[in-house]
Amino acid sequence: MTLKNAIDLTGRSVLLTGATGAIGAATARACASLGVRKLVLADAGPRDDLEALSEELRALGVEALGHQCDVSRRQDNADLVAAAGEVDAAVACAGICPLEEDWADDPDWDEVFHRVMDVNLLGPIHLARELIPQMAARGGGQIVMIGSIGGRMGGTSPIVQPHYIASKGGVHALIWWLAQRAAPQGVLVNGIAPGPIASAMTATTPYPKDRYPLGRIGEPEEIAWPAAFLCSPAASYFSGSILDVNGGLFVG
């Protein structure tokens, strides 16, 4: 018997938040290489960055739509999903990790805490709230949320602050909570818990790489391919799973 490769996005429409970030852009490119029909690219960053990525993907034959969106705002998510039209899968990549403030001494740290929670945790809640009914009405869909090794074990750098760790632990719990409620409607909710990944977010963060099993941090593509897999028919029996993609830093 010859098995057909089911890691295939031919004809599918995929929505990405945090699309111009390192993991988001790599995921968009991975989806394009797997035959995706349409990519809806959402980000709160400069419009020029969204348009540049959209043009790159259009050159590959993908219908690409750029949409500015602050995921922490409920209405922005509603507008995004309305503009996207029918969506088969979505990857929630948007996230922030401020490092400058000191949680113990900075009098303004609590305000930063709320912003991190609004983007990293409330954002995926807003997106799921809009997408799950639409996907269920069409017979199903797939949602992938990007968590973090920090949500598993408290982080791998001493300067990463507790707001980020708590937000990503919350994302993991949200995945499990949503999966139980969405699976009966045909909507599969899963996640990825990356280790440190090369990006603007980690460029200035010291990591003890000599203590890591692979001796390095990961590359965006090493998260993008698992994300694309979770958007494909090959992941049709995944629900409530969180893939630990961290080079052996966390095993559990």
Active site residue 164: yes
Catalytic residue at 148? Answer: yes
In a domain, 251, yes or no: no
Query: Residue 165 and residue 231: Cα distance in Å, rounded?
Result: 26
Would you say residue 6 lies in a domain?
no
Q: Which amino acid is at 164?
A: Y
pTM reported for the whole predicted model = 0.95
Q: Could you give the CA distance from residue 248 to residue 3 in angstroms, rounded to a whole number?
A: 30
Q: How far is CA 38 from CA 10, 52, 63, 177, in A?
A: 10, 16, 5, 29
Assigned domain for 191 exists: yes
For residue 7, tell me if it sits in a domain: no
Q: Is the pLDDT of residue 1 over 70?
A: no
Rg (CA), the chain: 17
Among the listed residues 38, 167, 168, 199, the single catalytic one is 168
Residues 187-227 have pLDDT tens digits of: 999 999 999 999 887 777 778 888 889 999 999 999 999 99
pLDDT for residue 201: 75
Total domain count for the chain?
A: 1
* pLDDT given at position 117: 98
Helix 162-182 to helix 109-117 angle, to the nearest 10 degrees?
20
Asked whether the predicted pLDDT for residue 183 surpasses 70, the reply is yes
- Considering the candidates 38, 54, 164, 199, report the single residue annotated as catalytic: 164
Known catalytic residue at 237: no
Is 103 among the domain residues? no
Residue of 54, 72, 148, 239 with catalytic role: 148
CA 114 – CA 77 distance, rounded (Å): 18
Mean pLDDT of the chain: 94
- Within-domain flag for 225: yes
Boundaries of domain holding 227: 13-98+108-245
Asked if residue 8 belongs to a domain, the reply is no
Q: With 70 as the cut, is the pLDDT of residue 180 above it?
A: yes
Identify whether 199 is part of a domain.
Answer: yes
- The domain that contains 192 carries what CATH number? 3.40.50.720
